[in-house]
Structure 1
């Protein structure tokens, strides 16, 4: 067995023993060997230890000694000056040292030291820098001697053949103030990455396909993040610099792959690069585009949702403009299944036209259509402002307005779900007036726009409520989606609607809903948006399943009814007939609409006194010609008579 391999196995067994909390005596007793044998094997002083002895020790301390290479391999005694000798150090993932194909095991501190030196090949690394890594910024007073000791131990492991004969290469040189790792004669994956990526960069303009292959070769060596098993090195400037270089090369590779319609070729390399910095938004944008370009649009949109959630949870920020552009370009792509790769479009030279308007095999750049470029900016289009006019003057409902304000405040404090208010009550009780009044009063809170739809849930005139798909199509057009890009099914249209509202601040006012099922397809999927629904039904399914805030409306109070009449007629008329004014409020059941129609008739006929109108309405009610409802019977009577011309008694 080669000397370097004996030491590697010995150090590995010793490190495993210490980790297991065992003494040499305990290992010897359990393995049924002498303490002297344990000591000599750990020091690498047994030239050809028996396989059975090593296996016993390894079993006791929990060490896979075979990982250091089988002792029976004839290659293990090859020296650096002999044919077939190879020495490899892999940094692009877990640190791995291979000598003629066999792994070299070493303790943690030696691994950290080698990682620090090898990531800066042929450069001086100071004693202070080494001490900072080995002792995490808390080096002992005599750290220089200790550093020298660890370097000496590392040399015994990685300088095969150096020993007493001095035939091997000196991998670590002592220089003034520190040490240098000499990379000559070492197969260093970091160097191969740098060389291939530089060649790709130089070749890209003249031969893009050759450059794409070179980029692939450069990135193929990455098996994870740089020095993946040595987290104490991740923040070191040299490691950060190489990691950033990895990301930069991956982005260049992705841009070229997307331009050449080879998105699928890029996806895995991009994912590995993202291990370095999972929240690197430029890189994540390329991963999204590459996934969509290889026919995996759903995966691309899931990645967007996951990234947005992480950004908000970990950093408290929304995705950057670049992420939004990628997300919306994916949503608006009208190619088959969102595919853009040649594999989905036909062979090179087929002239298959991409949705963006250029032949796929000659597509010069991943530039979307003018609409996509505009739609990719979530606030570039004029925000929709679809609220109906507010009914003025608006009287009362202070309690309900306060509930709506509280729901909005709850959302702005970071509530994780969409805010939904379900305003319900009998016909003509003022549900729409309340919703529209509050929406106008708070419209500045919804900077991305306000969407409105009359769902015609009562449907006296048409006989059927509006299909949610019709409303979805209208909403999508309002958000800038052309008719040709609106999905065919309601489920897909609803998903697109939710995606366009994700991360934004919209108010959606859904008036006169028939039931929760009619509303559900029109709900945003992410917080920040707020929905106000009005309905004759309490919408209990929406309350229980979607967590809607139920807001019940009853008739106005006597004081509010009096104030409404006075606001319309003026204090002169009401003060002249205060008792008749109160009686008018009562005979109208304190319903807002009946009161408005009554005062409208009084305003149109100045000679008609309030008392005379009250007498007329009371007489008609007594004759049972018209169903004037008391406050107690209002719900059942109004529901029976909805849409039957019940108001013309006031004309």
Structure 2
């Protein structure tokens, strides 16, 4: 058990691991009452072993967040990951050396001496996938360096171990062909084709088919990578939103998602649904999880906010399909207008790809059903307040039910945002603040943002104000805003829009772009609006509902802005019309097209709302 505890702590790479997490992983089949004493003994023995073996620099420390293991120089896993990441920045010759060093760190299966029922299964699956990806990258680098025989020797054991792994087989048949062993390359292709048909009932994916085609055409490897003549490179969408920082807690749910994703990969396309009430952190959890996995989905990540609970019209399946199809390279004029045709094209294009698909904020199983690809190489994550019973029964979705943060996690989140100096000497007040916010991540972040702006205010005073009436953290945060910020916040909540550019916000508030930008920054600092990767501003659906409860405001300025800008955009496509610049920055067809793409959802919302 000491080795198992050491393995879990080492894989955490210095991050704290709680007692409950250690017990759940290492003593999964025992009750907490019987496992806790065993953990105490294991920790004691591990500390003695570290002091004898690793010296005084190594330490196993306990903090309120859990146990953390600090090893001088780090672990082999950390070194492996650093080398692989560094290799991506190098030219072909140097990349070979870096990846050779990374692969040399592997001396057999990870944690081979740990009993299977005591190991972190999801972490081991992730590690093995990272190893295979590194082997494949190393083999490709060897091909680029004109060393195909070495690539063949590297890959042969892997295809024996993973007879259905198409990416590895693709590189192997390319290496065999480069080494002058075309007959063997064709044999390997036929063997994996037959195995896929017999065991999974599917044909080879596009990557494997293209490798086969290149051999038939006797094409050679070039430094530009593999791309058949006459075909442009396929777009690789990267649509994941930025991860929420700091991300605290949810270790149990992350392990469950990893386990379900790994189990689903063995048989079919996994569909994972994270369901729970508003403000509980569903999107934050899924986004954080997807960023951990995205390197495994080398054909890209697709994301859509289906706006199932925004108060305005939800995104229709055909609209989401159109976005996805454009993202994977389908020209806008070739996107079908019929939802069944669009869904068929979508499934066909993703049938041979490894794509991560995130369907955020769905309001029903029906809204997402046509957005599910059919490829076993894809992974789908859905978030919803609905329990999505229909999706579980029809598509075999696995549900992870999310509730408020654990009390300790809520306290850790407040401490991370406010900083140790602010909470020092107020531990009971921090606990009471977390309770007053019902341990909801959104409410906790709003409260912490307000307290951070008032460094001299005692936490106990804020808690008393929360508990003194029917006020929420949103009420208090709104009350602390300036008059201009309140006005813009209420206006933003009155719009049916997905998000706002700074220019649109200026038109909405009847102010200058500079003033609008300052007001939006103030609202973002107060956690009342969300800043997107594209530099636009949106509202969480719970915060939008709060803004709408304050009463609607007229939107004449915004509607005039959109009408003027859309007219200029349309005119810019007429070659006989002089190029003009507007407040939206439109200058010529290219910028007009970019503006229309960014504002398409907002224009549709204006149209639907009258």
- The answer to whether the superposition gives a TM-score over 0.5 is no
Q: Tell me the TM-score normalized by structure 2.
A: 0.43
Which protein is richer in helix relative to its size?
2
Highest Rg: 1 or 2? 1
